[in-house]
Amino acid sequence: MTNPNPSVSNPFAAVMDIAPRPPVVFASGQGSWLTDRDGRTWLDFIQGWAVNCLGHCPKIVTDALALQAAQLINCSPSYYNEPMVKLCGLLTELSGLHQVFLANSGAEANEGAIKLARKWGSRHKDGAYEIITMDHGFHGRTLATMSASGKAVWDGLFEPRVPGFIKVPYGDLEAVKAAIGPKTVAVMLEPIQGEAGVWPAGNAFLQGLRALTRANNLLLILDEVQTGIGRTGRMFAFEHADIHPDILTLAKGLGAGVPISALVADQSVCCFDYGDQGGTFCGNALMAAVGCAVVEEVSRPAFLARVREAGERLTSALNRLSAKHGCGTVRGQGLLLALDLGRPVSKAVVNAAFRRGLLINGPRPDSLRFMPSLTVSDSEIDAMIERLDGALADAALNA
Ligand SMILES: *Cc1c(COP(=O)(O)O)cnc(C)c1O
């Protein structure tokens, strides 16, 4: 041991060092604003990575938690509880699919999707198990979902990889067609690649994939962990393309900040036998009660219309800022947007923004990503643009 008591020199020494965290400790949040323990405030356009769809500490969530916590917290996934039954019903009604398994994270829902597709292949497709996934895709950080992901920086990490994932370029229907073989059971993708930097698949590609998977008796799995629950201005991103997947996964926005996810499937695919799927905390009443409250709020037509309107306001404002600072285009949909900076300066801009009291994300060296609360106000969008304007100027000065 080099330092017998590392906490003397570093108060954060006991926290596993998995990300370059700034030396700030957040203490409270309200709506689009975060406050640290010294009283400094930040305008939050990350919102837990598109998780807090109603902002920080919304009354809808704190009320649902308090009411349900006093009623029933957990009684095992082997029993029904009221919020579990209600949330599964809401999600099937809204998605047009038929059965739901509630879990705790996006990766866990995607693991369930992969297992369900493999089970369906073993039952109905002669043991087919291969899943075609996309370059630069992101499906989570478990071993199987890392293997399903197409992040180049993960190549060679945690070998051996889980086999059975074939990668193709995102948006290339001919490449998907060419990758189909006798062992193929499904195609899995995000309707908008989020972690890769906000790249929409486009309606034509999604519609082409739906037709192609139908024609070849393959399942279409849509990972809407980031795009689902109103983020793109519709309840689910697949609605923009007017298609339905066979399997859908949801997480981030579903709990508005609490850990809950969902594996949603068409009746024809639901083939788990008892014991195939489960998990100690899956479908617990406390998180499911929050999910119900969130889904009832976000699915209101007026709520979704406001997301689209706020998305348009943010897009126009980013385009004006881009013209002023000589950046590139704005991409994305609803309130999942990215600004192409046109040069590899995202780290400098993110750091400058942080110093100016703004949290934004740089998913790539040349791009910024914006994932505000779906309840973000016009004046908060304007305040963000003002701070970003300053941050872009700071970054240019220091370049
Ligand atoms: C965040 C994300 C995941 C992983 O979700 P976790 O809750 O972090 O496990 C999976 N897929 C997509 C598209 C995501 O954005």
Same domain, 273 and 331: no
Task: Indicate the number of domains in the chain.
Answer: 2
> Which pLDDT does position 397 carry in this prediction?
77
- 47, 139, 236, best to mutate for ligand 1 pocket (most atoms within 8 Å of CB): 139
pTM over 0.85: yes
pLDDT digits (tens, 9 = 90+) for 317-358: 999 999 999 999 999 999 999 999 999 999 999 999 999 999
- 198, 225, 260, 371, best to mutate for ligand 1 pocket (most atoms within 8 Å of CB): 225
> Which pLDDT does position 243 carry in this prediction?
98
Same domain, 99 and 45: no
Q: Taking residues 213-233, report their average pLDDT.
A: 98
CATH classification of the domain holding 29: 3.90.1150.10
Q: Taking residues 195-219, report their average pLDDT.
A: 98
> Which pLDDT does position 135 carry in this prediction?
98
In a domain, 310, yes or no: yes
State in Å: Cα 194 to ligand 1 middle.
9
In a domain, 164, yes or no: yes
Q: Of all atoms in ligand 1, which is nearest to the CA of residue 223?
A: 13
Q: In whole angstroms, what is the distance from residue 78 CA to residue 381 CA?
A: 45
Whether 17 shows a pLDDT value over 60: the answer reads: yes
- 195, 224, 371, best to mutate for ligand 1 pocket (most atoms within 8 Å of CB): 195
State in Å: Cα 126 to ligand 1 middle.
30
In a domain, 288, yes or no: yes
State in Å: Cα 137 to ligand 1 middle.
10
- 151, 229, 252, best to mutate for ligand 1 pocket (most atoms within 8 Å of CB): 252
CATH classification of the domain holding 190: 3.40.640.10
Same domain, 152 and 175: yes
Higher pLDDT, 65 or 6: 65
Same domain, 201 and 259: yes
Q: Taking residues 6-30, report their average pLDDT.
A: 91
Distances (CA, A) of 20 to 15, 108, 351: 12, 25, 12
Q: In whole angstroms, what is the distance from residue 183 CA to residue 306 CA?
A: 44
Same domain, 155 and 211: yes
Least confident of 275-279, 331-335, 393-397: 393-397
Same domain, 28 and 82: no
Q: Please tell me the residue having the least CA distance from ligand 1 atom 6.
A: 106
Whether 5 shows a pLDDT value over 70: the answer reads: no
pLDDT digits (tens, 9 = 90+) for 158-194: 999 999 999 999 999 999 999 999 999 999 999 999 9
State in Å: Cα 386 to ligand 1 middle.
30
Q: Taking residues 192-221, report their average pLDDT.
A: 98
Same domain, 132 and 188: yes
Ligand 1: residues with CB < 6 A are: 105-107, 110, 138-140, 190, 194-195, 223, 225-226, 251-252
In a domain, 158, yes or no: yes
Q: Please tell me the residue having the least CA distance from ligand 1 atom 11.
A: 139
Q: Of all atoms in ligand 1, which is nearest to the CA of residue 137?
A: 13
State in Å: Cα 259 to ligand 1 middle.
12
Same domain, 23 and 76: no
**Domain, as residue range, for 105:** 72-298
State in Å: Cα 2 to ligand 1 middle.
37
> Which pLDDT does position 296 carry in this prediction?
98
Q: Taking residues 308-316, report their average pLDDT.
A: 98
Domain edge (last residue) among 230, 265, 298: 298
Domain edge (last residue) among 265, 298, 331: 298
pLDDT category of residue 9 using cuts at 50, 70 and 90: confident
Whether 62 shows a pLDDT value over 90: the answer reads: yes
State in Å: Cα 394 to ligand 1 middle.
32
In a domain, 204, yes or no: yes
State in Å: Cα 51 to ligand 1 middle.
10
Q: In whole angstroms, what is the distance from residue 232 CA to residue 183 CA?
A: 34
State in Å: Cα 349 to ligand 1 middle.
25
Pair of tokens at residue 186: 């499904």
In a domain, 316, yes or no: yes
pLDDT digits (tens, 9 = 90+) for 98-157: 999 999 999 999 999 999 999 999 999 999 999 999 999 999 999 999 999 999 999 899
Same domain, 176 and 223: yes
Domain edge (last residue) among 298, 326, 341: 298
Residues with Cβ within 8 Å of residue 215, at least 6 apart in sequence? none
Same domain, 263 and 308: no
Q: Of all atoms in ligand 1, which is nearest to the CA of residue 140?
A: 4
